[in-house]
Amino acid sequence: MEFFLLQIALFIYVAATAGFVVNLVTMRKDVERISTYILSAGLFVHTVGIILRWVYSAHPPLVSFHEVFSFLAWALALAFLLFQVGHKLKALGAFVTPIVTIFLIMSLIHPKAILPLPPALRSYWLPIHASISLIAYALLTMSFCISIMYLIQERQIKQKRLGAIFKRLPSLQTLDKMSEKCLKIGFPLLTLGIITGSIWAEKAWGAYWSWDPKETWSLITWFLYAALLHQRLTVGWRGKRSAYMTIIGFLALLFTFLGVTYLLPGAHSYAT
Amino acid sequence: MPHNATSKEIFLIGVNHKTAPVEVREKLALNQSDPPALKIFHSLPSCDEVVFLSTCNRVEVIVSTSKGLDNAKAEISDTWINCSGVDPETFKKCIYEYVGLKAIRHIFRVASSLDSMVVGEPQILGQLKDAYRNALESGCCGQILNKLMPKAFSVAKRIRTETKIASQAVSISYAAVELAKKIFGDLTGKSAMLIGAGEMAELAAQHLKTNGISQLMVANRTLERAVELARALDGKAISLKELDDALIEVDIVISSTGAPGFIIRKEQIQNIMRPRRHRLLFFIDIAVPRDIDPKVNDIENVYLFDIDELKEVVEENKAERQKEAIKAERIIEAEIIKFDSWLSSLDIVPVIRGLQEKAEHIRKRELSRTFKNLKHLSEKDKRAIEKLTQSLVGKLLHDPILFLKKTDEQNRSEALYTISKIFSLNGLGHERLDKIAKDVNLKAEHNDEKFPKSMSRS
């Protein structure tokens, strides 16, 4: 049942993505509003799906790849909708909803079986650590999307190609500020995710930090984002350089999230 | 033009942004002179009427003289060189001189903003009107310039309504603001700086202000000018020496100086990026030649657009623009023909000669016709009759000619026109010229009074 709901949610996300792309091309405000409603509907169905799974599996659905990707897609869609309430960054939908869709597809192609939770993971720290980290990932993904938009717009203006793309994207400074905003919320959450993780590790394995690949890569990612924020706040880094750093940080994050699990197995592997 | 030495000539001498560097223009503007430049030139014996036009991009003396062109040229040049302290060699190199039709064409083109740095910018017309009003109030204008200047204004108005020349300059400053918005988003709270006090820069600054720019600085080589413009725009004047410090503060820079080389170089901007904490910086360079090194655009977070790039932003169609320019020039040519026909009607001699020639022609024709029928007349009789006709014609023409000669300058053109109409002196060609003007296939502005009737305006 809950799998069926996720399929419906995916279908709705695809529709919302199409809507935001149409909005990007036609620049019609009403299309944007309708797309936002469609996305909200998808999010609602998705939420019901996640709750149902939680009920069936009797543990927070944040364990298998299927569950984690599903939660990530959910968090990203939610973060985007909340962000749009306050900021109305035009064209952002066309960049974020495809990623929401991809995350949910990733979730659906991974085995959906409910696995028994290993005793080591049975702790209230699981939902705390995992949800905080994944929400941080969602915000940093948004920041990544906005940075991509920044780089595209920056290129248009630098090369004086003031055509269709130029007209459709927001101003440089707005993009820069919004990217920073996502970083400023996402980074503390990332930090909190690592701290809660290490507390949980101490409870489960008896050591705060054991340098397994996941932990090491989390730390590398954390340092990248820390350096970026530091440069932004002290030296005033912004614009293109900051956008590139955001993208590098996101790639490190992606590796921490996926690469480590697939390529460098350790204690942190998701149940598959 | 068929004017003899004693008739009135329109003469124009001046410099503009194309012919003279800003230092020379500033000196020739005679800003500080006392008495004012207008009075100085008007006091010259050869200058019957004077208008003195001084803007950021041009300084021009427009005179009407009846004392001979060479006199006027020499007097004005000498006086101008003396008062401004410009080196005579430089002066010769920088100035342009126009006489008669060419002067009229130049004034029409200036008024219509076809000669401006940014073609179509609207402020030059206002400046020309101010210059004329100034001359009018100081009693420096007479019959000729009182006709020529208002005519120039109406030509400019006609070009503005009938062609799209004017909308272009406006759209350039609009494009600059749109670009600024694409870089900064909301312009509220941002600051801008003008370097150089150009007409177009002022327009763009106005536009930025209405879009929420909170602080405006004006930097200029001469501080007085900066102060003047700063006051007009409600901004703050700074000297060029303070430029680097100001560049750390501002977000948008509009540069339009007449400097021959770059006044802002790449290293200069590279050095200020750290103190300005890498905040975005937007340069608009509307000077020709350019003020800002194009390499500045390579610096991170710095965006530079020059006038050509801005034009490309707004340019829908190059051929369209070309067509508008040709249309404007055609309007000007048509108006010049009309003005010239009025001007030549001012000449009393051709009218009198025309009158006499016509009378003589009629007399001779009628006489020969009569003599053909009266074959019996002796040579003596014929001579007597010839005498009679001559004296008849002479007596008949005496009063009209006297009337023409006695009429004062203010009413002369009216009188000349009336006389030549009454006697239908076609040789003077009003009708022909009017027709030519009409043939220049334009939407003729019919509310614009038909040519020589509007004399009473003076």
Annotated catalytic residue B56 = yes
Task: Return the residue in B171, B301, B305, B306 with the most chain A beta carbons within 10 A, the one to mutate for interface testing.
Answer: B301
CATH code of the region B172-314: 3.40.50.720
Whether residues A263 and A177 share a domain: the answer is yes
Whether residues A101 and A201 share a domain: the answer is no
How confident is the model over B82-104, as a mean pLDDT? Answer: 91
pLDDT at A136: 97
pLDDT at A10: 96
Whether residues A241 and A154 share a domain: the answer is yes
Q: pLDDT tens across B310-343, in order?
A: 877 766 545 666 778 888 899 999 899 888 877 7
- Tokens representing A69 are 């990707």
SS3 B32: coil
Q: Compute φ and ψ for B379, nearest 5 degrees.
A: -55, -40
Whether residues A155 and A244 share a domain: the answer is yes
Please state at what angle helix B409-422 crosses helix B318-345, rounded to 10 degrees. 90
**Is B62 or B306 the better-scoring residue by pLDDT?**
B62
Out of B47, B56, B94, B140, the active site residue is B56
Whether residues A9 and A70 share a domain: the answer is yes
pLDDT at A83: 93
Q: Which of A117, A151, A174 is the last residue of a domain?
A: A117
Whether residues A124 and A27 share a domain: the answer is no
**A128-137 residues labelled b (16+ CB within 10 A) or e (exposed):** bbbbbbbbbb
Question: What's the number of CA atoms in the CB half-sphere (13 Å) around residue B209?
Answer: 16
Contact between A160 and B179 using a beta-carbon 8 Å cutoff: no
How confident is the model over B17-28, as a mean pLDDT? Answer: 83
Task: Return the residue in B181, B182, B187 with the most chain A beta carbons within 10 A, the one to mutate for interface testing.
Answer: B182
Q: Which of A76, A97, A117 is the last residue of a domain?
A: A117
Which residue from B184, B278, B300 is facing A173, i.e. has the nearest CB? B184
Whether residues A196 and A268 share a domain: the answer is yes
Residue B378 has pLDDT above 90, yes or no: no
Chain B residues within 8 A of A238 when measuring between CB atoms: 278-280, 301
- The CATH label, of 3.30.930.10, 3.20.20.370, 3.65.10.10, 3.30.460.30, for the domain at B9-163 is 3.30.460.30
Question: Is B248 in the A-facing interface, judged by CB distances under 8 Å?
Answer: no
Give domain limits for chain B. Answer: 9-163, 172-314, 348-457
Residue in A with minimal Cα distance to B309: A160
Q: pLDDT tens across A132-178, in order?
A: 999 999 999 999 999 999 999 999 999 988 878 888 899 999 999 99
Residue B100 has pLDDT above 90, yes or no: no
Is the distance from CB of A140 to CB of A225 less than 8 angstroms?
yes
Contact between B300 and A160 using a beta-carbon 8 Å cutoff: no
Distance CA A57, CA B243 (A): 69
Chain B residues within 8 A of A241 when measuring between CB atoms: 278, 300
Whether residues A37 and A150 share a domain: the answer is no
Residue range of the domain that includes A66: 1-117
H-helix or E-strand containing A50? helix A29-57
pLDDT at B314: 66
Let me know if B203 is exposed, middle or buried by CB neighbors in 10 A (0-12, 13-18, 19+).
buried
Whether residues A73 and A186 share a domain: the answer is no
In the structure, what pLDDT confidence band is assigned to residue B85 with cuts at 50, 70 and 90? Answer: confident
Distance CA A165, CA B268 (A): 32
Contact between A238 and B279 using a beta-carbon 8 Å cutoff: yes
Distance from CA of B176 to the nearest CA of A (A): 12
Whether residues A49 and A94 share a domain: the answer is yes
Domain count, chain A: 2
Let me know if B32 is exposed, middle or buried by CB neighbors in 10 A (0-12, 13-18, 19+).
exposed
How confident is the model over B140-153, as a mean pLDDT? Answer: 90
Over chain B, what is the mean pLDDT?
Answer: 82
pLDDT at A269: 57
Whether residues A145 and A204 share a domain: the answer is yes
Q: pLDDT tens across B170-215, in order?
A: 667 778 888 899 999 989 999 999 998 777 778 788 888 888 898 9
Query: Which amino acid type is present at position B4?
Result: N
How confident is the model over B394-410, as a mean pLDDT? Answer: 81
Q: Which of A91, A117, A143 is the last residue of a domain?
A: A117
Which residue from B276, B280, B309 is facing A172, i.e. has the nearest CB? B280
Distance CA B12, CA B396 (A): 42
Is the distance from CB of A13 to CB of A101 less than 8 angstroms?
yes
pLDDT at B432: 41
Q: What is the mean pLDDT of each run of 10 residues along chain A (272 residues)?
A: 90 97 91 96 96 88 89 96 90 96 94 79 88 96 97 93 86 94 96 94 86 89 96 90 95 89 65 46
Chain B residues within 8 A of A166 when measuring between CB atoms: 182
Cβ partners under 8 Å of residue B408, min gap 6: none
Least-confidence region, from A245-254, B101-110, B225-234, B296-305: B225-234
Residue B431 has pLDDT above 70, yes or no: no
Which residue from B184, B276, B280 is facing A239, i.e. has the nearest CB? B280
Which residue from A173, A236, A239 is facing B300, i.e. has the nearest CB? A239
Question: What's the number of CA atoms in the CB half-sphere (13 Å) around residue B368?
Answer: 5
Residue in A with minimal Cα distance to B313: A162
Angle CA B416–B421–B423, to nearest 5: 100
Whether residues A226 and A97 share a domain: the answer is no
